[in-house]
């Protein structure tokens, strides 16, 4: 069965962004030639799921080719229909149904690139199989938390912890069962 | 100058306790003969600061000798005066003034054993010098967060990440400056 993964960076105090979508703390660990395993991770991914706000943010900041390079299916979870663009589908149905359908299909693994709302909805339904969480050495103090309150308990299998020169530690866990 | 340290375990989603002070998830990593560096850490500590609720909890669950073994000063931060017991003082003054006084005195390092309220008040005033945070491989879903919202930003120096057989990863950071 295809696995659904998250691959995300947080501050030590658990935020993925400061208020107003400020991601500047990620610069603390930017280092030329170091992608923290992202390319290797993406080599096993052929499908991306993400929220509409995250999609619009990335398209604005980086460009639409960041997700849809013609080699992957992209599902943008949204309440408002938009026409399909290349392999990018704007999906207005139930997230859990989409994930069940994708997981039972064939292909490489599925990557949920956020935002926190989508990740937490997946966690509510025990649908995340692999967690790669990179801890940035900073307490940002406030912002958008990766993990929201009031989720079900989920036990994890520890896979590895890898530390990098810039002070980032990447934790890897796997769903049990 | 004496340093103030925290040495604490959290779930991967950042909780130090589940609702109703339920610490049962710590059992996931209990292993005979493995103290996760606690004795070595405590060898450099001669003063403990903690909140009244945490103190009462530990005295009830473990016994009063857990903190005050006659070899350390213990300061319990409380709103209600109680008579001194051995080397345990019930402190009703300002936490920041106590910490400034202790740090500028002589002795080994100072350990804040919680709870989250006391730790977050120290973080509000940039008074934590060393962070040892042990990540338990579980998402507990809800409870008492180690880090509350609305703190100032604090950059940290990464010191080490050590993984243990039971799946616990211990992250160690140091205050910059």
Whole-complex ipTM: 0.96
The confidence score (pLDDT) of residue A64 equals 81
For A173, the token pair is 């866990």
- pLDDT for residue B64 is more than 90: no
Among residues 106-125 of chain A, which lie with CB inside 8 Å of chain B? 123
- pLDDT for residue B24 is more than 90: yes
For A99, the token pair is 């994930």
For B62-74, b/e burial (b = at least 16 CB within 10 A) is: eeeeebbeeebbb
The confidence score (pLDDT) of residue B137 equals 98
The confidence score (pLDDT) of residue B65 equals 85
- B15 vs A1, A122, B128, CA distance in Å? 31, 19, 19
- A170 Cβ under 8 Å from any chain B Cβ: no
Work out the mean pLDDT of chain A and round it to a whole number.
96
Contact yes or no for A139 and B149 at CB 8 A: no
> Which residue does chain A place closest to B120, by CA atoms?
A141
- A62 vs A56, A66, B64, CA distance in Å? 10, 7, 57
Neighbouring-strand partners of residue B76: B50, B90
Min Cα distance B57 → chain A (Å) is: 24
- Name which of B12, B141, B142 is nearest A173 (Cβ-Cβ): B12
Selected residue of A158, A159, A173 to mutate for chain B interface (largest B Cβ count, 10 A)? A158
The confidence score (pLDDT) of residue A141 equals 98
- Name which of A12, A154, A158 is nearest B167 (Cβ-Cβ): A158
Using DSSP bridges, classify how beta strands A45-51 and A109-112 pair: parallel, antiparallel or unpaired.
parallel
- pLDDT for residue B154 is more than 90: yes
- B33 Cβ under 8 Å from any chain A Cβ: no
Q: Is the dihedral of CA B121, A140, A10, A68 positive or negative?
A: positive
> In which band, very low, low, confident or very high, does the pLDDT at A69 lie, cut at 50, 70 and 90?
confident
Angle value at C-alpha B169, between B139 and A43, nearest 5 degrees:
75
Using DSSP bridges, classify how beta strands B88-91 and A130-136 pair: parallel, antiparallel or unpaired.
unpaired
The model's pTM? 0.96
Neighbouring-strand partners of residue B10: B135
Q: Is the dihedral of CA A134, A136, A141, A144 positive or negative?
A: negative
Find the helix packing angle between A95-104 and A116-124, rounded to 10°.
Answer: 70
Selected residue of A137, A151, A167 to mutate for chain B interface (largest B Cβ count, 10 A)? A137
> In which band, very low, low, confident or very high, does the pLDDT at A68 lie, cut at 50, 70 and 90?
confident
Query: Which residue's structure tokens are 């005295």?
Result: B59
> Which residue does chain B place closest to A10, by CA atoms?
B13
> In which band, very low, low, confident or very high, does the pLDDT at B68 lie, cut at 50, 70 and 90?
confident
- pLDDT for residue B177 is more than 80: no
- Name which of A138, A155, A160 is nearest B155 (Cβ-Cβ): A138
- Name which of B13, B147, B171 is nearest A139 (Cβ-Cβ): B147
Looking up residue B146, the CATH number of its domain turns out to be 3.40.430.10
- pLDDT for residue B34 is more than 80: yes
The confidence score (pLDDT) of residue A104 equals 97
Q: Total domain count for chain A?
A: 1
Residues B26, A157, A2, A101, Cα dihedral to 10°: -10
Q: What is the DSSP track for B70-112? A: SSSEEEEE-SS----BTTEEEE-S-HHHHHHHHHHS-SSEEEE
The confidence score (pLDDT) of residue B69 equals 83
A157 CB neighbours in chain B (<8 A) are: 137, 167
**Domain with B46 in it:** 4-175
Sheet with B130-136, strands from edge to edge, namely A138-139, B154-163, B169-175, B130-136, B4-11, B109-112, B45-51, B73-77, B88-91
Query: A100-142: per-residue pLDDT in tens?
Result: 999 999 999 999 999 999 999 999 999 999 999 999 999 999 9
Using DSSP bridges, classify how beta strands B154-163 and A138-139 pair: parallel, antiparallel or unpaired.
antiparallel
The confidence score (pLDDT) of residue A70 equals 85
- Name which of B13, B141, B154 is nearest A139 (Cβ-Cβ): B154
**CB-based contacts of B127, cutoff 8 Å, min separation 6:** B4, B96, B99, B103
- A141 Cβ under 8 Å from any chain B Cβ: yes
Using CA atoms, how far apart are residues A159 and B167, in angstroms rounded to an integer? 8
- B126 Cβ under 8 Å from any chain A Cβ: no
The confidence score (pLDDT) of residue A102 equals 98
> Which residue does chain A place closest to B131, by CA atoms?
A12
Mean pLDDT of B79-107: 97
Using CA atoms, how far apart are residues B150 and A147, in angstroms rounded to an integer? 16
Contact yes or no for A137 and B150 at CB 8 A: no
Higher pLDDT residue, B69 or B90? B90
């Amino acid at each position: 069965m295809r696995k659904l993964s998250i691959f995300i960076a947080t501050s030590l105090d658990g935020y993925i962004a400061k208020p107003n979508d400020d991601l500047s703390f990620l610069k603390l660990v930017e280092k030329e030639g170091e992608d923290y395993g992202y390319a290797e991770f993406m080599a096993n991914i052929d499908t991306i799921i993400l929220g509409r706000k995250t999609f619009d943010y990335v398209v604005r900041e980086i460009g639409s080719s960041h997700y849809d390079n013609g080699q992957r299916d992209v599902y943008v979870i949204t309440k408002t229909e938009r026409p399909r663009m290349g392999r990018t589908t704007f999906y207005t149905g139930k997230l859990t149904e989409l994930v069940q359908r994708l997981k039972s299909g064939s292909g490489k693994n599925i990557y949920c690139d956020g935002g926190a709302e989508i990740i937490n909805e997946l966690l509510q339904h025990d649908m995340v199989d692999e967690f790669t969480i990179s801890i940035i050495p900073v307490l940002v103090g406030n912002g958008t938390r990766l993990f929201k309150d009031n989720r079900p308990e989920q036990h994890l299998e520890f896979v590895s912890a890898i530390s990098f020169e810039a002070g980032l530690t990447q934790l890897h866990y796997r769903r049990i069962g």
